[in-house]
A and B are shown apart, each in its own frame.
Chain A
Amino acid sequence: MTISFFYDVGLAVLILGVGTTTIFAHTAFAAVIAFVVYGLLLAIAWVRLAAVDVALTEAAIGGGLTGMLLLGAVARLRHAKVDDIRTGLPVRLVAGVLCALIAAGLASAILLPPAVIPTLAPMVMENLAQSGLGNPVAGVLFVYRALDTLLEKVVVLLALLGVWSLAPDSAWGGIPALRVYARPNATLTFLAQLLPPLGIVVGVYMCWVGAKEPGGAFQGGAILAAMWLLVMIAGLESPPSIGRPWLRLLLVVGPALFLAIGLAGFLLANAFLAYPPGYAKPMIVAVEIALTLSIAVALGMLAAGPPERVRQQ
């Protein structure tokens, strides 16, 4: 029992308290605010689990971008007619008991671990030196499970296509209506002028340092996306219309380069997504830089939502 254990207990209690607020809060607005706080607390928990890469992603994407998206939705749903049907007490009781059973099942899996816990960590560390990377998480993302990472980018692009295709016909090729829920004021404008220079440097640094230390394309891209969104929400810059060629190009450059290098692996290293010996690190860094740009644009446009108005010019 050390002092850090009491700190962890306090953190776990806070996470549970704020987490349940997102479920039991009376208004959706309160629930979303609780969710943002919850995301940040969860990021601290990930640091305590020695997963700094995950913590950065959770803070930037889980708390920040998701929170922004939800806040925008709450603002628009504020005047929606909500049915006043509440789930009946018997149903809630049964659901509560069953959900508690599932939680108890998971808890027992944690409390009664198998004798030998399977892990691939030693294999990762043995072969990491060949890739020239210093961050084992980046090694897993870009070397051992590169196919997952590539397909994940495709999933993000598919989600963006899905969001865009929800636009009414008349708004196709228009501008995402990000400004709808912003009442630009002096503080917001000031922040949008002050933060982006710093944030862009942090985002670029995060992408670059990802090869050796915690960080990488996801985290860097999320920070760049946040800076872009801040400028757009403050009204300093209009969101781009979704038909812009530069926008489309930035969206696909990351996955396309990744795929091209993956296919080149057939010729140079005899396998899809394999890197030729000695060139692994420069290739991975190139893919990371391209992916950071694509992720930043894709996350920003996902958060901005479907196009709603046609450009007035």
Chain B
Amino acid sequence: MNAATLFGLCGAALVGFGLYGLVTNPEPLRKVLAFNLLGSGVFLVFGAISKRAAAAGLGGDPVPQAMVITAIVVAFAATAMAIALVLRLLEETGRATLSSDGPGGTSTDGGNS
């Protein structure tokens, strides 16, 4: 087993853990964290596969590397957006939850009207 396979398996496990956290944890912020873990696991799997394809005298395949760089930046942008949504939800309802029952449920007046 070489380093690429090892980190590929590590990435696969991270995808599993991230997905589990995303599904089971009720707090929105923890879901965002889990989603980031899931994403970085996918990147790592991708990176490990691209390392195997290393050719032309390079350490790794530059095409997947460039795509992962783009993906990390986009993931950050999405995380910033998600956190802004969670904080706005807190501001509007005083709660940070995704459950639909209770006072901070699905039908709040946006407050922006």
Binding site for B on A (CB under 8 A): 4-5, 8-9, 12, 15-16, 19-20, 22-24, 28, 31-32, 35, 38-39, 42, 45-46, 48-51, 53-54, 57-58, 61-62, 65-66, 69-70, 72-74, 76-77, 80-83, 85-87, 91-92, 95-96, 99-100, 102-104, 106-107, 109-111, 113, 117-122, 124-126, 136-137, 139-141, 144-145, 148-149, 152, 155-156, 158-160, 162-163, 166, 168-169, 216, 218, 295, 299, 302-303, 305-306
Contacts and interface: CB of A to CB of B under 8 A. Distances in A.
A86 B68 CA distance: 34
Q: Which of A4, A23, A32, A158 has the most CB of B within 10 A?
A: A23
Can you list the 7 inter-chain pairs with the closest CB atoms, starting with the nearest?
Answer: A50-B59, A103-B16, A159-B77, A119-B53, A23-B21, A106-B12, A136-B62
Given A103-B16, A110-B12, A303 B80 contact: yes
Contacts of A53: 65-66, 69
Contacts of B99: 83, 85
B48 A49 contact: yes
B60 A140 contact: no
A172 to B, nearest CB: 10
Given A19-B17, A23-B21, A49-B48, A121 B61 contact: yes
A49 B4 contact: yes
Contact of A77 (B17, B70, B88, B96): B96
Contact of A69 (B55, B61, B83): B83
30 contacts: A5-B1, A5-B3, A8-B7, A12-B7, A12-B10, A16-B14, A23-B30, A24-B21, A28-B33, A38-B37, A42-B44, A57-B72, A66-B75, A76-B90, A77-B86, A77-B90, A109-B45, A110-B8, A111-B9, A125-B58, A140-B65, A140-B66, A141-B66, A145-B67, A148-B66, A156-B73, A162-B81, A163-B80, A166-B88, A218-B69
B76 A65 contact: yes
A57 B69 contact: yes
Interface in B70-98: 70, 72-81, 83-88, 90-91, 94-97
